[in-house]
Structure 1
Amino acid sequence: MEAGRVAGRIKLGSQGLEVSAQGLGCMSMSAFYGPPKPEQDMIALIHHAVHSGVTFLDTSDMYGPFTNEILLGKALKNGGVKERVELATKFGLRYANGKIENIRGDPAYVRASCEASLKRLHLDCIDLYYQHRVDTRIPIEVTIGELKKLVEEGKIKYIGLSEASASTIRRAHAVHPITAVQLEWSLWSRDVEQEIIPTCRELGIGIVAYSPLARGFFSSGVKSLENLSDDDIRKTLPRFQSENVEHNKIIFECVNEMATRKGCTPSQLALAWVHHQGNDVCPIPGTTRIENFNDNIGALSVKLTPEDMAELESFASEDVVKGDRWRNDIPTWKDSETPSLSSWKTV
């Protein structure tokens, strides 16, 4: 296939951002899924992705912390890929020593974080800048107000939110158009379909699906949990605990059997399900291996009928999956409500 044409393109949101139909989550290259991977191997993977048409790269200042942005900065400096990439990064969440240390959305922190990310990434402007988690002490209007200034100053092009509730998204969008909301969406994480997805579509906001392969579970099922290092965060997540994983492996087995019938891999089938949610959805599966990347790209060629979609969804209905998707100490959209601007001003 012609380089740059494999993944195709979609419009993300209503403000003009265009990205590859599938992105590349870069977190696991540097953090959370075991030790950091060899730098040159990861740069080669990033270049391979871009030359394959996957130009939407996702990182965050908390991955490492900071080391993943540094890695992306090095990858963008060479290989002739910088002008072809849509780069998304995030601010607002500090994770260290196995736990979240703080979440900040105050204007000074927003600005300082942006400036620091620009330096690490060797960029003059960030394409898509997300608030990684919502600071529940600061009205969302205050945080978005500072991001709006950064847009006006040309330091970021588009604003995004990650793990934000429908009401938080609406309040943010009223201050400045939100281009994308990043959320966990896969066959076994579907709670966002009730309110958040409809809200995004009503407002013309693009949807970026992280962990579309259930943190690797839809790649090889229980085998994906073998040989995990002690510092792999999946060892601490409820769905991967022994009391739940034996039940949840049945979901993988059903997906795997259907994939065999469809002539694709289980990961391709699970990814194809996300792609078939609409042309406003961009999944960003992560990987550290070129062969897995190539497999993921194959999902774009998998065609699913309405009957196929219904069958897949029957495998992993909400009452079938056992265990929460995150630990209780890691906030999600359910924990994203902030004070009203009027009440905050009177404090």
Structure 2
Amino acid sequence: MTYATEPRPAQTPPGDSTSPRPRKRRGRVVLLILLVLLLAAGGTGYWLYSGLDRNIKGVDLDKAIGDDRPQKLPTSGQNLLILGSDSRDGANAALHTGHVSGARSDTALVMHIPEGRTRAVAVSIPRDTLVTRPECTKADGGKVPGANRVMFNSIYSQVGPACVVKTVEQMSGVRMDHYMEIDFAGFKGLVDAIGGVTVTVPQDIHDSSSGLNLTAGTHRLDGTQSLQFVRTRHGIGDGSDLGRIGLQQQFMLALLSEVKKQDLMGSPTKAYTIADKLTAALTTDSQLASLTKLAEFGRSLNGVDPANMETIMLPVAYDRIDPNRVVAAMPQAGELWKAIRSDSEIPESAKKSPATGG
């Protein structure tokens, strides 16, 4: 795979649908929220439980991908692929200022929980990373041939989530034990259900593309503003999608803090409302597609302290042919995936990304 030899600012992106835009989500956030809400709703009647259970959609990865997969970790560690889907139809249509239709994966994050499950590493994959897509099977059984230099976030809309999992597995050599997807419409509802999220920005942000307008200082964001915040690119950093990483990480930490502060255990009605919003927006692999299985998985991660969680962007460099795209930077990316495959400490050299100046 071709990559640039030195950092280079991205050119003006041709549009939101084709610009580098990694959404660096903390997978731990998803799991902590699920754990808290599911346990809080545990005392409700069966009709409430079954209603939440029916909300969750499942994808049979083993059936869709087959046996052509990397081996599982040699330890008790776990790997989870988290996607944030961004449909331009239905409930999500009003959340966009552009004219792009269909559904896309605007967030891609590999969460690695090493043996012992007391810490976690979240590796985010920039959505405009050029990758080699393997041959995949669509939901209707049709085959899609492999292709080179495919934009990563196009795989979801063209072939489906199972192909995204297969692509990540083949580019990394890392077996994904589980898959989780959250739709942005549900994300908006979740923020509104908890009463908003507080963030502090050091400078004014005015982004006509996302619609966000904030002055420097502290703000309480509602669901719509939260989506604008994590989508904002213009007016921060170098204006490329890689500049969103800081805002996205900041917001998800603020969201986690907000959920932990609220007395959900003492408010079953509010807990159920939030759980309903979250599960309605949730798709998982078939092994997690129920409240019971999600709660069991969440409890297995009780020992993970958010303070011990590290977020890393896949090391990338601007593509030599198309500077609006990025490619995996070697040897850094290879070192990163190797460490995850062996469930070992990630070297500092594997955390440096040429596209962001290190």
- Into which bin does the TM-score normalised by the smaller protein fall? under 0.3
Where relative contact order (Cα < 8 A, 6+ residues apart) is larger, the structure is 2
Name whichever structure is richer in strand by fraction.
2
Q: What TM-score, normalized to structure 1?
A: 0.26
